[in-house]
A and B are shown apart, each in its own frame.
Chain A
């Protein structure tokens, strides 16, 4: 049977198996890839130096609007899918394989999935914010490209068999006619004939009906786990490039200190041919082995003269300090009537909540390998292997840092350890690139533990939140007013959002040390209106009980109409950026603890009192599902009859619509509290999520369970500490939590609570996020449970024994 090919597929052949091998093999250069792909290399500027240009698009950019940028089908029936959302251990490689297999009607093992390589995969920005599922299953991601390809294959098959599409059936990539000769078939490879689709992605392409799913919606085991447990998995920390040297950084001992002199002779004579590199306040060293590099860095650190740094506020004054600084202010909502309505209230309640700087604290210290050849300028090239969340943004930053055009730079994402946000992955990539550019050889940098916690780490924002509500004579909330101070500095890729303007490499620690400008916080005279003139609850500063009214449109989840939520950004001396559930966890700790205080002041059950104000049926649904599963006992807090000494137990609740759109979530925490020692133990957590159709129930549960325990760690244990003056009062301020003894986290041996996960498999809506949902509620749910058990209201994180005992004494409980 001669193949009809009415779509006139034209262009270069898709990637061959060899090409895929080249892509997946870390040591293969782009030139090898181009050769094996059998694609004529289009060079510009000069063929000898044009090796970073892509076979798909010689500019080094990939056109997300083209189906061929996302999928290639070989004449041998091989299927290659290219996508721009990374896997950090949250299971997103497996999820994207499930998606591709489902939409293309093939088994997962037929698909080679290539993720996050500049010039090869689509630019999908950062893999962050719980947005990956929402993106890839939505109208601008992988799913619509797959569905466009699927529709084209059906059209081709329809014309091949000369029957309508409705009479076709497809099994593992092979079409036949329903009721026809089962041996009369045609495969995807035969239809495509090894050519490109040459089609524009159709954003209206219809997804396969979730009720027919065979691979999505199933607890498919993660494809990466066997290699990880066997020990063979190649993390970014294990990338090895021929001729690679090892580098270390030497950071200022105090925040804001500048290099006065560097004695490069400090390393002379040490083994491993160490070489010192200095760019303004940025200092590093390379040597032949990691141990030699470490010894050289130690020797060098003692031979650098630094200027005095900045004096920080005393740790105990931090929260007072925050509220006294000039601030950049913006409303999330402001209906303009809050003061007037508040003045009519029968009663007002107010409280202040405090949240410290916390850190990502990835288990692996961050690591990257960079290979910069040819110095700088138009003929220089860069290859970088990085655990970044965005290969394209790192490429842009590297271009600025190194003065090398982006078209000559390749960035390949290699999985590091769990990142939980903007950890050291991008900074260490810049550090490796500086060293490699200086020595002209590939350089691997892995931070020490102290580097990871102080030298590449951008902390999560410290917060002070002032809450106030007005109640009418019936105990109903008639106005809600909150004001949130957040400490920010640098902010990494968030700089545009925080300061305005484009983010540059100076918004990361290494770039700033090397002399690139850092975004400056410009205080506002009067607060800015809600961003974009819309309700945009990124940060969850608006309580779930408000209408979220902006310009007359209510997009919130509640009924309180008179509302004002003001966010006030304050300059920090500690570097900051986004940490899992950025600002959401701080704001929700405040909002959901305060809601509990209001209910308690009125002697109302915390769940029933919340339900009085909620209008969103999905949020109501998940709250009810979770409290039912937890066998919630309807009564006010605190629990009647609990003594005020010894060990007591209690339960607390919290709920939210994450980010205002990205997952409906509710949690009930149960605790026991030793009121004599102040030790809080979380004994059981019921965590529920309605995030649309469940993509992989076991993977989702894994994420939820991890968030429960990480949330316990954040709520009870974690706090970045600093000295304000430096050792002996000289030098300057510095972070002192620089290892796992000083920065306490949940460890093996700590009590693991019973965890009950409640999944709502809601097939009628589009899939949304999960990765930051449960953790957002953990501090509030735990704090509310502590109040239920003890009558002590905790308003400061972490809920350490000392903080509990201090609050108990102050509240005279």
Chain B
């Protein structure tokens, strides 16, 4: 049984900020581009970004790319590749101004220039106490405005959108070249082959592998699963950033602004415990410090509620006026998801998974790179990755706020440019599809469509999320990690025995969720196995048995392979493109 084939110059999987930026570059070059997306483009998770996008425009105070680069290297806890970081910071002004010219409604200064505000970790003069004004925002709708602007531009440039199409697997030939993807049209339930000269994965993060997550339901790590199944490694998957204040039980993010306005955290004894952990910054210490303190309180039995598993965020002392006027939306979120009116009572919160630093290994041109033939970073011909699903790696072990939207713009653009270049250098005719193209996807579908009985998707995915939360959370304990790896192996085995009751093809969401589960499994396995193996604490990885960073042994990138569930390592690029290297130092704020 062969699948119908659709042929394009380029395929972009994902219509968030990174996918749309890349597609624009390709369409404007006159190429035939297909963008596949599970949901309507402007409903991609990028819409949730509020804080802004970083660029050293120096509109509201002195700034330059060197300072931005230093902050990003330090923020990454020195795991970031310094060539890629230099590349990103040097192109930041260009991509933000370009977006402005496309019509992005940035907030403005009186002189008409883009207004910029400070954001955690962004400083002046290589880490001085003075904050840089570097974040550009469009009210509290930065991500929304970015998606709408880029989508409109793509419509004008004739990008072809395949909405409610789910990419299933990469197509690789015997030489390892990527020749496209298989994808399922939800409306019909039928699979097709998309044949192209270049394919970009821009499928976003996989925050949904944890029980407590700020990510939307669609963030199931599909691109990561596709890469892993195609034999490609996933890089630095142990590093996930936790946001300290997600609403307990729901995950919805309560902005740092609440603590900025004077809100603070309490344990079950009503103690303002951050005074003990960070006597100066207290509740405004950096995200990882606050998250770890909260977890310690809970671990030591001072959590709130019947299960002693969360802490409280108190803001009633700020008064109704401040809450209503300066923290719009917070009251509604607390009432809706915690059943607590913050004007009268505290909000239950827990550290919540927010951002995935690891991903598909790529260089700053978006090319996917893997170890081969003695080269740590051999290019996989035909395959590119950008955005949260990629690991370039500019965020290293910890991302700075507002650097992610910048990453989407810079590497969306650079991967688009590189794809154009590479396609133009290729022969007119497409490289022929291998005979077995589509086989893996067909086998997955056949299994789902024929299994009479077996495991249920919701149960297995809930178990996966609970396991990751309990065994691979903010604080990592050696015994829990080892147990977590074993539990994930059992969960992976259960996931292979999934059965769905309703076998209908036409718009069957149960079938789609079963296919998503495969991706959750690959991502979660990569995460827990990589975390167990890394015997140090760095950035977002905090281990109880190895509390310090260990540059002598661990200043290296992790690579996880699905095949054999095995790990390899490769060096960090400490050498920037043009400036001197920033040598690893102890990270203090």
A and B associate? no
Using CB atoms and an 8 Å cutoff, list the residues of chain B in contact with chain A.
none
Query: Which residues in A have some Cβ–Cβ distance to B below 8 Å?
Result: none
